[in-house]
Amino acid sequence: MTADNTPASNETTVLEVDGLCVEFSMRGKQVPVLSDVSFNIDHGRTVAIVGESGCGKSMTALAIMRLIPSPPGRISSGKILFKGENLIEVSERRIREVRGRDISMIFQEPMTSLNPVYTIGDQIAETIKRHQAGSAASVRQQVLDLLRLVQIPAPERRISEYPHQLSGGMRQRVMIAIALACEPALLIADEPTTALDVTVQAQIFDLLKDIQAKRGTSFILITHDFGVVAELADRVVVMYAGRKIEEGSVEQVINDPRHPYTRGLLRCMPQIKLDPVLAAEPLAEIPGTVPDLLRQSKGCSFAPRCPSVTAKCIEMPPMVQLGEQRSARCWLAHEPAATAEQYV
């Protein structure tokens, strides 16, 4: 995109993903798992990657950290520029330095993402010691500060507890503390609250917003929940079958979605309805399932499930630019929702 040519934009752009393609070899065939995924993240901003299970959200996150299991997976083309450095080309040693220090990740399952045999203090200290020198006392002090930052009560006591002694919300806070240990510029949160109950979710969101305000950390937020997106994100990338199908600011995507899949996702949001007649209505769903990546057609991958499908959709639609950093991969992208639905 433009970040290469204009040095000024490099200061605010933390990460630039450009034309990222990932392939997995399955039964002797190269199966594309990500095709031409591109997006930017600015300093102190949050980009949400949205989509159903199996559409490539987590794969994008793993690719950024070069954590795709290889074999069978491999990044076949594209660039991942972190502060101007292409992470796809750097050495294994360099990428290990980047992991945890510059870019870190929070996983979906706080129950299993912590090592059960170490105290939480040890696990946070381990990350700090891997990336910076310091005496045992200063590391301990840093660990206590981090536990306070993620609002864990009585950190002096908690520091020597094991993961199984903590609740799910507490563990996710510890995960966040580990991820933040070296003050990374970018934090990737892979469905950070999916495994937690709603009240704890809200606390974690507040915590993340608070940290972003204090430290200017950029977030990639991976989720399938537009409620979470509206809460936290500045920009949205919607993915389907390994492709970016829509991108824009949160307001643009939620108020004026241009891809039928995005509209479908938005309609799937449950709403609290007190009226018994409305409450009896079943929750909307998108018929069908994400296509099998082994059997991809040449056309639009959403066509088989699309309510607005036309004859044109047997060809892959281009990424239609609708404005600055606003695009959708649909033949009908120029038409607002109301008009597009008439084709049904």
Cβ-Cβ contacts under 8 Å for 48 (sequence gap 6 or more): 220, 221, 222, 223, 228, 229, 232, 233, 235, 236, 237, 250
CB of 259 to other proteins, least distance (A): 31
Question: What is the torsional sign of CA 166, 172, 174, 178?
Answer: positive
Q: Which is nearer to other proteins, 33 or 98 (CB)?
A: 98
Contact, 239 vs 245, CB < 8 A?
yes
**What angle separates helix 168-180 from helix 198-215, to the nearest 10 degrees?**
20
Q: Which is nearer to other proteins, 77 or 115 (CB)?
A: 115
Q: Which is nearer to other proteins, 40 or 104 (CB)?
A: 104
Binding site for other proteins (CB under 8 A): 65, 67, 71, 96-101, 104-105, 107-109, 112-119, 121-122, 125-127, 129-131, 136, 139-140, 159-160, 162, 164-165, 175, 178-179, 181
CB of 131 to other proteins, least distance (A): 7
CB of 190 to other proteins, least distance (A): 10
Give phi and psi for 321, each to the nearest 5: -80, 125
Which residues is 46 bridged to in the sheet? 219
CB of 311 to other proteins, least distance (A): 44
Give phi and psi for 302, each to the nearest 5: -90, -10
The tokens describing 193, both together, are 């609250």
Which residues is 241 bridged to in the sheet? none
Q: In terms of C-beta density within 10 A (0-12 exposed, 13-18 middle, 19 or more buried), how is residue 84 classed? A: exposed
Question: What is the torsional sign of CA 333, 334, 340, 344?
Answer: negative
CB of 130 to other proteins, least distance (A): 6
CB of 99 to other proteins, least distance (A): 4
Q: Which is nearer to other proteins, 68 or 211 (CB)?
A: 68
Q: Which is nearer to other proteins, 12 or 194 (CB)?
A: 194
Q: Which is nearer to other proteins, 133 or 338 (CB)?
A: 133
